[in-house]
Structure formats: structure tokens, C-alpha cells
Amino acid sequence: MIDKWLGIVLTNGVKDLTVSSYPFVVVNCNSLRKLCLFYVRLDENMLQALLNSCPLIESFIFEYCKGLETMNPQKIKSVSLKFLKIRFCGGIWEIDAPNLVSLKYTWEDIPQIKIVRESRQLKYSRIILKCLDSDNVNAAWFCKLRKFLSNSISWSEVSVESYRCNDINIQNLQLDHKDSNPPRGRFKCHHYMEEWGELNICGCFGMELSA
């Protein structure tokens, strides 16, 4: 019944669609401009097929979607895409969106993202790493993060949330001015502590990711 309803909606000129907690069915939809998927199970072939079936899509948001945690890169290729938000969807990402304006990525560890063609229109790009329960946030972890940022696009802002940030000597993480391709942008690290069973911000620091 829901499959039939979804098919009718997608073939009748809908421009904005949100699907939550239901197996999504790929249907051609030339009118769709914005698609939001929450808690939807996808596979590696479905993701690109979905974008191919919506040639005019401009905004794509998916959060907590399962089935994408494979060793193969998840390809997001679209010339019409302008706004992309990936939140708590694990996997290796290969993004080819030459007209992208905004990119926001949230995950629990250092991203595995490759930008095939960096958009000249990209005005906002943000990474949020929520590593609250991780014991791996240390100086070596930050060095890996810096390496990723150096080899990636110029992210507008990188935010790390962890219980362990306060243990890091930020002075040791300042960039070497000899780096050939230093990362640029704003960097924030929020240190949390548990107090009386509640999560409270204990402190934070920030630095510019530029030489």
C-alpha cells in the first residue's frame, strides 16, 4: 500500500519528499528537488540509481541510513546537486557534484571522503566528528585528521566533540609551515565531561587550520 502511494506521489510532480523508517523504492521523478531519507536501508547500487532517477535534485539529506558500510566507495554523482548533508551514515564516499554549494558531514571518526571535482560554488563545508565514546582521540588521531584535511578540499569548519580533547597538547598540533598543502578553515574541539549523570560542556578550544 505504501509502495503504491509512494509511486503515485513521485510520478505526480512532487518537489520535496521526506521518507523515514521505510524501505525506499527507486522511482523516476523528474520533478523532485529535495529528498530527505531518515533511517532508511539502502545498498551501494541504490544510492546512485536514486540520484540518476532524479536528474533535477538540488538538495539531498540522509541520516542514520543503513546498508552503506561496505569496502566499496559510495558514489554520489550529480550535476544538479547543490546541498548535501550526510549524518551518521558510515562508509567510504566519493562525491562528484561540480555545482555543490553546501556540504555537511557528521560521523564518529575521521571521514573517508574523496571529492572528485571540487565545486567553485562551494561556500559552506563542515565536518562534525562526534567522538564522545571513543578512546582513540589522541595526538596520533589528530595527526591523521590533519593529513585528511591537507589532502582534501578547503573545509570551512571542522568540529570535534570528545571527552579526550582536554588531554591533547594543542601546541603540538600546530601546523608545520613547511607543509606543501596545509589545511585551511576553522577548527573547534569541544571537550565534554560527565557530571552527575548529565553531559556538560567543560571547555573548548579553537585554531585556524592554516599556515
Please work out, in degrees rounded to the nearest 5, the angle formed at the alpha carbon of residue 190 by the alpha carbons of 100 and 112.
Answer: 40
The better pLDDT of the pair 205, 104 is held by 104
pLDDT band at 177 (very low <50, low <70, confident <90, very high): very low
Provide CB contacts within 8 A for 178, sequence distance 6+.
Answer: none
Query: Counting Cβ atoms within 10 Å, is residue 137 exposed (0-12), middle (13-18) or buried (19+)?
Result: buried
What is the residue-averaged pLDDT of the chain?
Answer: 76
> Would you list the domain boundaries of the chain?
1-122, 128-211
Torsion of CA 14, 16, 20, 23, to 10 degrees: 40
For residue range 18-29, list pLDDT tens digits in order: 888 766 667 778
Q: Residue 46: left (phi > 0), alpha (psi -120 to 50), or beta?
A: alpha
For residue range 116-172, list pLDDT tens digits in order: 988 989 999 999 988 876 677 777 888 888 888 887 777 888 888 876 655 555 555
pLDDT band at 47 (very low <50, low <70, confident <90, very high): confident
